[in-house]
A and B are shown apart, each in its own frame.
Chain A
Amino acid sequence: DIQMTQSPSSVSASVGDRVTITCRASQGISSWLAWYQQKPGKAPKLLIYAASSLQSGVPSRFSGSGSGTDFTLTISSLQPEDFATYYCQQANSFLPLTFGGGTKVEIK
C-alpha cells in the first residue's frame, strides 16, 4: 500500500492567516493527489484534484502543488468557514486508494 503522511496533524491559526498543509506519499504518485475538506458530521468535500486543479465552486484561496511524493495544500487567507479537517488521497492507479491521517485546522 502507498502510505500517505500528513503534517502537521493539527494547526491553530487565525482568520486571515496563510495555512500550509503537507502530504507525503511513500512512493511516487505523479500528480495524482486529491485534497478534501471535512467538517464535523459531514461528508468530505473535494477541493483539489490532480495535485493543483481547483474543483468547481471551490474558492480560489485554496491551492495545491507538488508532484512525485511531496504535496502541499495552501489556504492563502483563512476564513471562518475553513476551520475543518483536511485529508489528502493518493489517486494513482495503485490500489488500494489511501488517505492521509488528516490535518485539523483549529481556531487560534
Chain B
Amino acid sequence: QVQLQESGPGLVKPSQTLSLTCTVSGGSISSGSYYWSWIRQPAGKGLEWIGRIYTSGSTNYNPSLKSRVTISVDTSKNQFSLKLSSVTAADTAVYYCARGTTMVRGFDYWGQGTLVTVSS
C-alpha cells in the first residue's frame, strides 16, 4: 500500500521560502507511469494544484505560482520536495502531496496534509 507523508516547518515568516518534503513508502517513486504533485487548500476553501514532477525530472507548474515554485525529486530517498519563495499570508494553507497516474488521470494517493502558516 502506497503511503505519502509530508514534512516540513509549520510556520514560515513572510518573504521567506516555504520548504516541504513528501516521503513515499510502500513502493518506488520511480516505478510505473506516475507523476508527483503538490496541492494546497486554504482553510475553508477549495483545492489548488501547485505543480508536478515526473521521475525523469520533468516539471509543470501552475502559472499563478510558477515564478515562485520549484519541485524536485530525490529518487534515492523516495522523496519529492516543494519550495515556494517569497511567501505571504495568502500562502497559508494545508499542503498535500499526491500521486497522479497517467492511466487514471486522477490523484489516487494523497498525504494527510500539513498546515503551513505564514506569519511573523
Contact = CB atoms under 8 A, between A and B. Distances in A.
Interface residues of A, number: 25
19 contacts: A1-B63, A32-B105, A36-B106, A43-B98, A43-B110, A45-B110, A49-B104, A49-B108, A50-B105, A55-B106, A87-B46, A89-B107, A95-B62, A96-B49, A96-B64, A99-B46, A99-B49, A100-B46, A101-B46
Contacts of A102: 46-47
A35 B112 CA distance: 18
A44 B110 contact: yes
Contacts of B74: none
A45 B47 CA distance: 13
- Secondary structure class of chain A's binding surface, majority of residues: loop
Interface string B40-70: 0000001111001000000011111000000
Interface residues of B, number: 22
Contact of A97 (B49, B64, B104, B108): B49
A78 interface: no
Interface of A: 1, 32, 34, 36, 42-46, 49-50, 53, 55, 87, 89, 91-92, 95-102
A99 B47 contact: yes
